[in-house]
Amino acid sequence: MRRALLAAACGAAGAVAARRVARFRPPEGAPGPADLDGLDADAAAARLAELVRIPTISTRDRDELDTAAFERFRQRLTELYPHTHRVLAREVLGDGALLYRWSSGVDLPPLVLMAHYDVVPVAGQEWSRDPFSGLVEDGVVHGRGAIDDKGALVAILEAVESLVAAGFTPARDVHLSFGNDEEVAGVGAKLAVDALTSRGVRPWAVIDEGGAVVSGVFPGVPGQTAVVGLAEKGLLDVELVTTDPGGHASAPVRGGAPARLARAILRIEENPFPARLHDVVLGMVDALGRHAPTGYRAVFAHARFLRPALALVLSKASREANALVRTTVAITELEGSKARNVLATRARAHANIRIALGETVESTVDRLRRVIGDPGVELTVVSGNDPHRCPAPTTRRSRWSGTPSARCTPTRRWRRT
């Protein structure tokens, strides 16, 4: 009797699992290809290339900032997109953030489209082409900012320009918010938020730069995947410092400042943050896993019940997938003695940390201290912000993706003074 009951239970569980896998398929009625009628891709690429040639390099040192380049960029936009600047209201916020309003005449919550036009420096990097050449070759625009993020900015303006030229009026107001200091965690986007908030504007939707179009990042899913971000990890910059009396290099001592710092770095490297499958990442598994072959789909269909194992699988699948499931730490700067024959009295490392959803600046720093296990290593928070707080996704399904909906809100910011 007991065996019969066990067999029946196993059979019922197997049937439930089989039905779940059978239902775990891409949604029907997938959208068709985009309507590209009227798009002059070559002309759009040429405009992007021209904007790439303007070196709008962000820097935290205001004395090194080429303000003329930023002004030239803003002026060139008005010339390249005349219809947009004829119809949309434009204002410059702070040192150069741009905020446009495309009025619809309808009192509905607006759509906000975001991008940024500053770029990071190119010094110390190897480029196969001049990073500010704007070279168009084999259908590709080469240069710093072509992807991050002038490409998105141009895509927005190309769409708006063509629609305005055709006499189109949007169904709701559209705001374009283009930051000028995103790469240095500046205030451009905050100024736009403050401006809209002060006017009582609460957006219907906000679309900013997200992931890239990638291949081979998600295990078992063939072809290209356009990554859509529904939440944002926290960003934390921490300095690790050790000190020592120093002396002449002819008489070194064991365990000096550089050695203790190196030991701390190795401990961080050897003890990564745990991999966890947050609800937002689970939504990504739900959406992408439906396009995987049967064997993978059998796993992804049960992702909610296999979180620890699946988080481990994703952490080993690729660098990008690993970053989805855990807090990551990258040592980006190292500094020791200023002279070849002098022992360092101070050694410093900079850790750039991306905090996973569900963790905080405080919990991250606490864990780093425990992992390092050396009170002689001083940890200082340079700046940081907690990840967005994301409540558990609802059971309501989106018609276009099949993924649970989620709403995320920003949390605390930290900055050294």
Cβ contact 387:231 at 8 Å? yes
Distance separating alpha carbons of residues 268 and 357, to the nearest angstrom: 20
Amino acid (one-letter) located at 286: D
Distance CA 243, CA 264 (A): 13
CB 66 within 8 A of CB 118: no
Q: What burial class does residue 302 get, using C-beta atoms within 10 Å of its C-beta: 0-12 exposed, 13-18 middle, 19+ buried?
A: middle
Which one is catalytic: 118, 158, 232, 386? Answer: 118
Q: Of residues 158, 161, 182, 244, which has the active-site annotation?
A: 182
Cα–Cα distance measured from residue 353 to residue 363, given in angstroms and rounded to the nearest whole number: 12
- Answer yes or no: 118 catalytic: yes
The answer to whether the beta carbons of residues 118 and 57 sit under 8 Å apart is: yes
Active-site residue, 335 included: no
21-34 burial code (b ≥16 CB/10 A, e <16): beebeeeeeeeeee
Can you tell me whether residue 194 is helix, strand or coil?
helix
Residue type, 27: P
Question: Which amino acid, residue 4?
Answer: A
Active site residues: 118, 182
